[in-house]
Amino acid sequence: MNLPDRSPQRGFSLIVVLLILIVTTVLGVGAAQVSLVNERGARNDRDTEVAFQAAEAALLDAESDVLGPNDSAQQRLCLFSSQDVTAFVAGCGGAGDHQGLCAPGEPGTEPAWMSADFSAGSGKSVAYGTFTGQTYFSGDAGTGSSRAGALPARAPRYIVEAIRNHDGWQVNALQSASARSASYIFRVTAIGYGMRDETQVVLQTNLYKSTASPGCPS
């Protein structure tokens, strides 16, 4: 009896299947990595947005602190005068009503905000609501809130610098450059925190107080 002629088995189909599995695995790992990167980016964007909103809130709180209206029992509106900044302290104040008030620096020196200590324990900056009575919910112990949700890790803070203003705030209203008649504007630097302490946003604004607040010396 004649046996059928059989060609040798070379396993070509097995090699093709293995190659397809390898390609599929590489594509799957790549897709997973892309998804993780996108998720991390979205998380960072949300964290930055939380910090930005907190910094904006601190600017508004500082505006109420400097310009009013402010009905808080802790208000210090009379300390902000375009003609008298004796309440402002070199290196920024750290006690009582002088907290976060930075005296004008000498011409050519580094502005106070570049070296200011914004940490909660230093007393060199003002926590949101300290002088306005407002509350900003955050994840730190100071507000009694939990770390759940999109809350910042800590309450935003700010400092106020007195800045010499020789040229006048308004157009066509130049002032004398003499020290006696020099006026001041107030530069506010605020820092907001994201859901992580390391995510921080710093914003600035300039405030001009043309007249004294009601009940304050003019």
Could you list the residue range(s) of the whole structural domain that residue 115 is in?
A: 38-207
pLDDT at site 103: 92
Q: Is residue 164 part of a domain?
A: yes
Average pLDDT over the chain reads 83
What is the per-residue pLDDT across 5-60, written as a single tens digit (0 to 9) for each? 555 555 567 788 888 888 888 888 888 888 777 677 778 889 999 999 999 999 99
Q: Are 213 and 71 in contact (CB under 8 A)?
A: no
Q: Is residue 20 part of a domain?
A: no
Is 126 a residue whose pLDDT tops 90?
A: yes
Burial 109-119 (b: 16+ CB within 10 A, else e): eeebbeebebe
Q: With left for phi above 0 and alpha for psi between -120 and 50, is residue 102 left, alpha or beta?
A: beta
Per-residue pLDDT band at 110 (split at 50, 70, 90) = confident
Identify the residue whose tokens are 């799957």.
28
Q: Is residue 32 part of a domain?
A: no
Please give the Cα distance from 185 to 208 (Å, whole number).
Answer: 5
Q: Is residue 1 part of a domain?
A: no
Is 119 a residue whose pLDDT tops 60?
A: yes
CB neighbour class for 11 (10 Å; exposed up to 12, middle 13-18, buried from 19): exposed
What is the per-residue pLDDT across 139-191, written as a single tens digit (0 to 9) for each? 775 554 555 567 899 999 999 999 988 655 454 454 444 545 668 999 999 99
Identify the residue whose tokens are 């930005």.
52
Lookup: tokens for 39: 């998720």
pLDDT at site 1: 55
Q: Is residue 216 part of a domain?
A: no
pLDDT, mean of residues 99-110: 86
At 88, give phi and psi (nearest 5°). Answer: -85, 140
Q: Is residue 191 part of a domain?
A: yes
DSSP state of 116: -
The number of distinct structural domains making up the chain is: 1
Q: Is residue 8 part of a domain?
A: no
Beta strands in the chain (DSSP E): 101-102, 126-127, 157-165, 183-193, 200-207
Q: Decide: helix, strand or coil at residue 144.
A: coil
Q: What residue type is 120 in one-letter code?
A: A
